[in-house]
Amino acid sequence: IAARLNSSGFLQNQGLIAGKWTDAYDGKTITVCNPATGEVVANVPCMGRNETNDAIASASDAFKSWSKVAAAERSRRLRNWYDLIMAHKEELGQLITLEQGKPLKEAIGEVSYGAGFIEFAAEEAKRVYGDIIPSPFVDRRLFVLKQPVGVVGAITPWNFPLAMITRKVGPALACGCTVVIKPSELTPLTALAAAELSLKAGIPPGVVNVVMGNASDIGEALLSSPKVRKITFTGSTAVGKKLMAGSAGTVKKVSLELGGNAPCIIFDDADLEVALKGTLATKFRNSGQTCVCANRILVQEGIYSKFADAFSDAVKSMKVGDGFGEGVVQGPLINEAAVKKVESLVQDAISKGAKILLGGKRHSLGMTFYEPTVITDVNNEMFMSRQEVFGPVAPLLKFKTEEEAIHMANDTNAGLAAYIFTKSVQRSWRVSEALEYGIVGVNEGLVSTEVAPFGGVKESGLGREGSKYGMDEYLEMKYVCLGNL
């Protein structure tokens, strides 16, 4: 597959600076491996401060012209980019499976989902309205202009190698900003292929730059540059906090999509089939490696055993394997460190009284594969209820009352996504309002879409991505007062 992608030109393995494909200045490289097999897929440049500074300079130059291009024209170029990505859905999907591991069908799904952010941004590009404010003074008129913030540093994770980039770069470009992207070193190939398509779509050289390599050096160069006016990040809470602190020196605008600890609350009055389907979808998407994956499944005592049995039956039937395998719905974890983390969380829970209903160990396929797991008798004090599991492990916690469920759900520093399952309309409103989360799914496990605002409260982040609100993250307001009329 790698050879086929290479011959069709989809295995780009250099960084992109000022529209030129570039190696690291010292020639160093890092390897990108297939998480399912450990095989090396490609070598990419290991870049650092110098390359990043040149990428920033290129983005800053390109900003002068791109920010002046008519919104309708920016919209057309973005639409071209969307069309090209969709035309190469298969190849990009294969690339995602190759470097990230998710099943091919899910990977192709990510391409459509990810491309959606570009399509939506292309449409919104034409609708960046300002205001005319009714003036309290007879001789003055008051206006608000919306202008692009400038050069954007976009740092992204490995779990959605395409979508985490498009949801940042789409609106940034639509608003007239230019970008320096730093994809995860684990999954840079999809980012590079997408960047190449941006050039083919007519997005001018320098508008999109991609550097990868030494994350902290690249981060440092982005943070210290006064030319970079905005940092947009998706990743761990610890790194997000560092970037927020590092942005203070030059007072950059910051948006952060950080870790979640999603509760999935199943009330006695839920439709069992709906709850099973929704919980399965939110828990096991991308083998549990998303920040909106259910991290704690809170089940009311009246249906706890019934739910646990039915859920574990459903989990048992999921096929695990290489993402290119027929019928596979659970791929590998990203690397062995991820498997070790899952193992230690499971051990901790067992040592504190939790019980394995299904799975609970490494899969016979080896290294990066972990068995889809269901654990009962979990409580809110175990490490797996305090941290993101980021793996195919479903912990079931028991609760008695709605009040107790809300308390347990909110008892965390995170606040990204939450899910509730109930047939009561009154309860769904009451609980949705009481949950300290940025996103609530009611009787639904898959809630992400480019048309709705995605983001968290508390330590899950700042700002929103997607929807009309996602545009605001890349705009500054300018108040113009026209006086002495």
Catalytic sites, residue numbers: 257, 291
CB of 142 to ligand ADP, least distance (A): 40
Distance of CA 75 to the CA centre of its chain: 23
Closer CB to ligand ADP, 175 or 244, in the complex: 244
Closer CB to ligand ADP, 215 or 434, in the complex: 215
Instruction: Write the Ramachandran bin of 442: left for phi over 0, alpha for psi from -120 to 50, otherwise beta.
Output: beta
CB burial of 416-439 (b: ≥16 within 10 Å; e: otherwise) equals bbbbbbbeeeebbeebeebbbbbb
- Helix ranges (H only) for 327-444 are 336-351, 383-386, 402-410, 425-434
Which segments within 238-293 are labelled E, that is strand? 253-257, 262-266
CB of 239 to ligand ADP, least distance (A): 3
CB of 401 to ligand ADP, least distance (A): 35
Residue nearest to ligand ADP (CB): 219
CB of 210 to ligand ADP, least distance (A): 12
Residue among 344, 335, 388, 341 at smallest CA distance from 366: 335
CB burial of 191-229 (b: ≥16 within 10 Å; e: otherwise) equals bbbbbbbbbebebebbbbbbbbbbeebbbebbbebebbb
Closer CB to ligand ADP, 233 or 307, in the complex: 233
Summarize as ranges the residues that interact with ligand ADP (CB under 6 A): 155-158, 182, 184-185, 215-216, 219, 235-236, 239, 242
Residue among 20, 22, 12 at smallest CA distance from 51: 22
Closer CB to ligand ADP, 145 or 337, in the complex: 337
CB of 215 to ligand ADP, least distance (A): 3
Closer CB to ligand ADP, 221 or 408, in the complex: 221
